[in-house]
Amino acid sequence: MSNDSPTPVTPPGRAAEDTRPDTRPDTREAPAEQAPASASRDTKDPLRGSRTSGIWVAVVGLGLVLLLLVVFIAQNTQSVSVSFLGWSGQTPLAVALLIATAAGLFLAAVAGSLRILQLRRRVRREARH
């Protein structure tokens, strides 16, 4: 049997309209039911982090850093000659490296603080205008 229905012809350069029904599954999410605000406050997650747990993690982290620092100092006890701006002297290598690290951290903190102050001033100025 032949199908005698006319087939629409699409002119070149134009897309044919798709008249087939959409059979794709609906991916839209149904709106979630809103729980009362008081119910969410009453049922706190018992495993939720707290300030105390955050402090505990910080203490453990700092303890590990301190342990690594002690190992670093113990392994770098050889004496080195250090000269800086006319000062010179002998110091253990670990002490010289730790002082250099502290000075670098201090300079980075100063530069970062100045940038933060600059941005805060700009935000305040923009808020006024």
Strand 87-92 relative to strand 79-84, pairing: antiparallel
- Render 46-93 in DSSP notation, one character per residue: TT---HHHHHHHHHHHHHHHHHHHHHHHHH---EEEEEETTEEEEEEH
Model pLDDT for residues 72-91, shown as the tens digit of each residue: 888 888 888 988 888 888 98
Label residue 92 exposed, middle or buried (CB < 10 Å: 0-12, 13-18, 19+): middle
Q: φ and ψ at 89, to 5 degrees?
A: 180, 175
Q: What is the pTM of this model?
A: 0.46
Coil, helix or strand at residue 31: coil
The low-confidence residues of the chain, meaning pLDDT below 70, are 1-43, 45-47
